Structure 1
Amino acid sequence: MMFTPVSRARLLRHAAAAALLLALGACGRDGATTASTAPLEIDRATTCDLDGMLLADYPGPKAQVHYAGEARPLWFCDTVELFATLLKPEQVRQVRAVYVQDMAKADWASPRGAWFDASTGYFVLGSKRHGSMGPTIASFAQQADAQKFAAEFGGRVLRYAEIKPEMVDLSGGALHDSRM
């Protein structure tokens, strides 16, 4: 088999064309690149995308989901809403990142910061502590913190992938909100 020598200029042109095709492939359908998936922080005006509640006005863990092709995350005032949304069979949007707050570091009454990748976390289901929607699913980055919380407030510790649709109940939401 005989190889034809390729000039350096021709090789560089092919490499540049390949890089351009890769860059275009990384863009969204409309040609715009997708937004960063770093966690954002809530402020006084951040509202829940499901019910319009101001996140800063309510206790308990919050969540944000970054979907492919979306410039901003969808906000959830409660982790129960997060799991109810993500675990629906009709949820087909491509999830790029899911963040929840580490309640070992955030103040329960007014949580700020302490965001971490939900898929790596530990969650306490069935505790006595309530979030913005009533009974909530407490989120923790470390297993020891989740176990300590469960020992004090009840509930069982689960990993992200262990939470199933039948474990998520949104029926108490507005009934527990005395500020509406």
Structure 2
Amino acid sequence: MLTRRKFIIVVGGVTLAGLAGCGGEEEVAVVCEPQPIVPGDECVVCGMFITEYPGPKAQVCTRNGQVLKFCSTSDLFVWLLQPDSVPQLRKAYVHDMGITDWDHPSDDAFIDAEVAVYVTEHPVMGAMGPTLATFGSEEDARAFMAEQGEGHLLGYEEIDVQVINDLARAHIRRTM
């Protein structure tokens, strides 16, 4: 005879067995390539129209296939440094400013953000004021720093909240 206790154990066991395969999220099979930035595209962090401003832009492909666009590399890292962003990230892209124009970066110049070389503490303004200039090679980054007369090289993993806060403080100092 099936007692209440046995019934609960059986139902609980069946339920647990059914849930065993639901432990992780399925990753959607999507193509993760940079998309063209077109007039009307807005930065997901600040809401500015991306094409109306100079400097390197950025994009993120999320695990669910969504493409997020950013008006600046600084805003990219504002997003990336949020704890809830990391699990969403599939791939990030930035412009290689060694092969494209600062005022109107080309959609053909996107590179993997993790392999880019970043220059901070330079005088050239981006969409949000001081920004991280991005390059596909250290040689191009050093040439940019020599041309500008200043700058500091960083790798992707070196960019943290302190770097972004320093950019914001530099912007405040320049506007005073």
Q: The TM-score by the shorter chain falls in which range?
A: 0.7 to 0.9
- Structure 2 residue aligned with 1:85, among 55, 79, 82? 79
Residues 35 and 72, structure 1, Cα contact 8 Å, conserved in 2: no
Structure 1 residue ranges (4+ consecutive) displaced by more than 6 angstroms after TM superposition: 172-176
Q: Give the number of the structure whose residues are more often helix, by fraction.
A: 2
Change beyond 3 A, Cα 1:92–1:103: closer
What CA distance in whole angstroms lies between the structure 1 residues aligned with 2:159 and 2:131?
A: 13
1:140 and 2:149 are equivalent in the alignment: no
* Deviation at residue 86 of structure 1 after TM alignment: 0.9
1:74-105 Cα offsets, whole Å, 9 max, x none, are 11101111112212344343311000000111
Residue type matched to 2:145 in 1? A
1:101 and 2:87 are equivalent in the alignment: no
Unaligned 5+ runs, structure 1: 1-24
Per the alignment, residue 13 of structure 2 pairs with: none
* Deviation at residue 45 of structure 1 after TM alignment: 2.0
What CA distance in whole angstroms lies between the structure 2 residues aligned with 1:173 and 1:72?
A: 32
What CA distance in whole angstroms lies between the structure 1 residues aligned with 2:70 and 2:156?
A: 16
Unaligned 5+ runs, structure 2: 1-23
Residues 78 and 133, structure 1, Cα contact 8 Å, conserved in 2: yes
| Identity rate, percent | 37
TM-score in terms of structure 1 length: 0.73
Per the alignment, residue 64 of structure 1 pairs with: 59
What CA distance in whole angstroms lies between the structure 2 residues aligned with 1:73 and 1:172?
A: 29
Superposed, 1:112-131 pairs within 5 Å as: 112-113=106-107, 114-131=109-126
Residues 45 and 79, structure 2, Cα contact 8 Å, conserved in 1: no
1:167 and 2:163 are equivalent in the alignment: yes
Give the length in aligned residue pairs.
148
1:12-59 Cα offsets, whole Å, 9 max, x none, are xxxxxxxxxxxxx9954xxxx343111111011211112221111100
- Structure 2 residue aligned with 1:50, among 41, 45, 48? 45
What CA distance in whole angstroms lies between the structure 2 residues aligned with 1:125 and 1:171?
A: 12
Residue type matched to 1:97 in 2? K
Q: Secondary structure at the match of 1:64?
A: strand
TM-score in terms of structure 2 length: 0.75
Change beyond 3 A, Cα 1:172–1:56: farther
Q: Secondary structure at the match of 2:44?
A: coil
Residues 59 and 131, structure 1, Cα contact 8 Å, conserved in 2: yes
What CA distance in whole angstroms lies between the structure 2 residues aligned with 1:109 and 1:173?
A: 21
What CA distance in whole angstroms lies between the structure 2 residues aligned with 1:48 and 1:162?
A: 23
